[in-house]
Each structure stands twice: as C-alpha cells, then as structure tokens.
Structure 1
Amino acid sequence: MSSPLRQLLDEISWEGNARKYRGGGIGKENVLTAEVFQLLDLLPRSHFLGPVLDDAQGVVGGHGSALGTDPEALSVSVLPGDLTTDGLQVRVQPDVLITSDSLFVLVEAKAVRRASFPPQQLAREVLVTRDRAEGRRAVHLLVLGAPPPVQVRGLGPLQMQDALTVGLDLLKDRVADRSTDGVEVLWTTWESIAHSVGTSLSAFTNPDPAVVGSVQRMGEALRTAIDIHS
C-alpha cells in the first residue's frame, strides 16, 4: 500500500534533481518521519501518541515517565525548520517538535537502516533543546532503527552518553556554556512505535463503527509505513 506522500514524492522525483525520491523515498528518514508523525498527530492522542511517548527510555537526565501526560494539549510540528541556541552559535533542523505549555520535545529520527550520527549532532541538538525549552520540561527524543549503542560517523558504535560527551568536547571552541543540566535524552525505536500502535489498535473501542474504522485505517497506514521503510 502506497501513501499519498510517497506517491507525490515519486512524481516529484522525475523533475529536476530529486531522483533520490523515486519510488516514494522509501528508506528516507524524512519521509518515514513525516508519514508516521502526521498520523500520530491525527489519531486519538490519549490512545496512540501518549503511549508512544511513554514508551521512551531514558539515557541522560530522566526516564521518560509520564511524557505523554495530557496528550491532547500537545502541538505536533513535523519538519518545522531551523532552531538555534540563544547565542546562535548552534543551528539544527529538528525532525519533529512536540510542545505544550509545560513540555518541549525535540525529536531526531533516524532511518531504520544504515543510520549514523555526525560527531557533533547529539550535542548540538541537546544544547538547542536546553535553550528553546524556556522553562518547560526539556526532552531530546531519539527515534532509532535499533536500540543503542548508536553509530557515530568516524567513531563507530557509542553509547549515547559517550556520543554526547564527544560532541560537547568538539564544540568547546564555539560554545562557552555546554551544560546539559535539565535536558532529558530519551530514545525509542520504530519497531517500538509500531508495536505500541498495534497494541492501541487492538484495545481501541468506540460506539460508532465509523470512528473505529477510521482509527483502524490510520493505525494500519502508520504500521505499514514503518514496515515499508524497513
């Protein structure tokens, strides 16, 4: 089953130099991210997005508990554009932002296969999360193809705390304040998201069969997207 997004990308791939999206951009992390998080935004949040967030596991500064509290109050922005630290020394492009009056989650999503981090990436994103949270709970959430360790370009597999330490050291000449206090670094996997959504689909009930049918279609589209991109 092909999604409208993949169909559109396949059409675009025949124009100019967008050939990497031929076939719908299968395997591209930005396509997978857009498909999955758009559907998580649209599905009933308490049943789907909330449990997905609560399944995240802690690496640095927290454990992910109750991350999905009051999910209907969350705002989900997919591919939101650039964000910087307060001093503009560091600029990143989040894959997703999940925010509320009390929560700021910067999401970095990696492809299911052959994904690696540039050496500074994790540190840069954590520092931006620290500054942009502005008093809210600050969370950097990684969506990975497999549990840690993560592949860091030129350094091989590293535990995420080690990858963060390496990146912060590489930024010492550019960023004076490299404290990550107050930022939680959490991770989940695409497989975990698919499993969580499947569990939620099995448990979802509603007196209106049209609502159930709609939720089932969106949930299966989400799981199909993860399967196809894997």
Structure 2
Amino acid sequence: MADDLTNSSVLGRLLEEISWEGSHVRGYRQGGRGRENVLTAEVLGALSYLPRSVFLAAVLRNAHGADETRELTAAEVEQAAITLLPDESRLSPGGVIVQPDGVLITPSCHVLIEAKGMGKSAFQTEQLSREFACVHRDAGQSRPLLLLITPEPPPVPVKGHGRLTIEAAITLRLESVLARTTGLPGTPDDLAATIPDTVAWTTWDELGNAVATADLNLPPLPPTVAATIHRLRDDLLRALTWHKTKP
C-alpha cells in the first residue's frame, strides 16, 4: 500500500526535491529560472508525454556517443518506463549515494540521465564515476547508457579539476568508487574500456533543435490531439528559452 501513497508525477517529484532545499528554497521565487531540477522537470517531463517515437527518439538520435545503444533505446522508447528526479540509489548498503535526474528503462536498455543546469554548475569530483558505476550495476542484463545533458559540448567542468573530457571525468575517481560498490564485477580498466559504448551526451540547444525539427510523421490526428501535441512541444521550447535567458 505504501507505493499507492507515493507521488511519482513530475510535479510531485519536483516538490519532493524542493522540500529538501531548506533556506535555498527562496531561489525558486522567480519560478525557478535556471534551477536544474525545474529545467529537468519542465523539459524532460514534456518529452515523456509527447509522442516519444517522434520527439524523444529524435533527441536520442541527435546525441553523441554510444551509437548502438542510443539507437536501440530510441527504437524502444515508446515502451519505456521513465522516472524523473528519482529517489537516490546506493552503490552499496549504507554506502555511496547516486541521485540521477532521470531513469529510462526499455525492454533492452537501462538509461541513467544526468542533466546539468544552464548556469555555471560543475560536476562533483566523483559524480560521473558514481553514475557510470551505477548504470552498469543497475542495468543487469540490459544495455547500460549514461546520457548527459549539458549547457555546452565536452570537455565538461569538474569541481576542482577544470574542464575534462568525459572519459577523464569518469576515470578520475572510478577505482575508488568501484572499491565501494557491490554487485559490479570487473576491474576499473575493464569498465573504462566500455565508456565509448556506454556514455552519450547532448546539449540543451541540441535537444531543443531536435524537438523543434522532429518530423511529426504520424497518421492523421483529430484536431484536438494535434493541437495538444503542438502545445506541449511549444511549452517545452519556451521553457528552454526562458531558463536560458537571464532576467
């Protein structure tokens, strides 16, 4: 019965995240402009409701890296179970915490989504090492994919280390993270060798362009359904513009 009382909607998950902000909650008074969780909820939430084989598939196919897994995810995306702003995961009992911005599970793929805000936010030193280990561990027999959504193309900013390639950012603390991870076989070198096939990235601008230019090649729709799709798409694009524009 406990699951029946859990609010798993995008709005419910966003409110759950905000409830932990403490005194920083004042930063949401202008509607949360530029706040990473608000951006994620508004944009990825709309993508989860829009026809996925058109819009979310276009975003995936327009990204970079892990080509085979991205394509397989795009092909299966209508069947995906998507959770935005999910509960934290632990790499070992009582151990390292991982809290991605989204999880997307298809029949063949397990995708962990990490979205950075449009400001100057940097990845924490172990963040990408932890998320890389997490997606490999949680994927089980599925194909793992770590999808990064960033303000700018790589190299990515990592706290205390300037800008690094994605591979360097992941391997920076991978050995230490794996030593604190249970249920994940393989050496750091073995796992590092899978980075090109496991990690993909796109930018918010590229995401917006993929949505704006997606080919809405669907059978004729009732006018009210077509209008709903266009409203959702336009709201998504407005959200991207609004978060990117300084007040």
Please state which band the TM-score falls in when normalised by the shorter chain. Answer: 0.7 to 0.9
Cα distance 1:154–1:71, how it changes in 2: closer, same or farther (>3 A)?
same
CA displacement 1:114-168 (0-9 Å, x = unmatched)? 1211111000000010111011010011001111000011110111111111121
Whether contact under 8 Å (2:40, 2:101) holds in the other structure is yes
SS in 2 for 1:171: helix
Whether contact under 8 Å (2:92, 2:181) holds in the other structure is no
Equivalent of 2:239 in 208, 225, 230: 225
Deviates more, 1:210-219 or 1:50-59: 50-59
Q: Structure 1: any 5+ residue segments left out of the alignment? A: none
Give TM-score scaled by structure 2 length: 0.80
SS in 2 for 1:115: coil
Match of 1:126 in 2: 132
Match of 2:177 in 1: 171
SS in 2 for 1:132: helix
Cα distance 1:112–1:42, how it changes in 2: closer, same or farther (>3 A)?
same
Match of 2:3 in 1: none
- One-letter amino acid of the structure 1 residue matched with residue 232 of structure 2: M
TM-superposed deviation, 1:20:
1.4
Quote the Cα distance in structure 2 between the aligned partners of 1:171 and 1:98. 23
Whether contact under 8 Å (2:77, 2:106) holds in the other structure is no
Whether contact under 8 Å (1:204, 1:212) holds in the other structure is no
TM-superposed deviation, 1:113:
2.0
Deviates more, 1:72-81 or 1:196-205: 196-205
TM-superposed deviation, 1:87:
5.7
Match of 1:25 in 2: 32
Equivalent of 1:113 in 112, 116, 119: 119
Please say if 1:58 is aligned against 2:65. Answer: yes
Match of 1:200 in 2: 214
TM-superposed deviation, 1:89:
3.8
- One-letter amino acid of the structure 1 residue matched with residue 40 of structure 2: T
Q: Structure 2: any 5+ residue segments left out of the alignment? A: 1-10
Deviates more, 1:183-192 or 1:162-171: 162-171
Q: CA RMSD in A?
A: 2.8
TM-superposed deviation, 1:175:
4.7
Q: Identity across aligned pairs (percent)? A: 36
TM-superposed deviation, 1:77:
0.6
TM-superposed deviation, 1:84:
2.2
Whether contact under 8 Å (1:55, 1:64) holds in the other structure is no
TM-superposed deviation, 1:80:
1.0
SS in 2 for 1:191: helix
Equivalent pairs, count: 221
Give 1 or 2: higher helix fraction. 2
TM-superposed deviation, 1:203:
5.7
Quote the Cα distance in structure 2 between the aligned partners of 1:99 and 1:187. 18
Cα distance 1:161–1:169, how it changes in 2: closer, same or farther (>3 A)?
same
Whether contact under 8 Å (2:69, 2:145) holds in the other structure is no
Please say if 1:97 is aligned against 2:89. Answer: no
Match of 1:188 in 2: 202
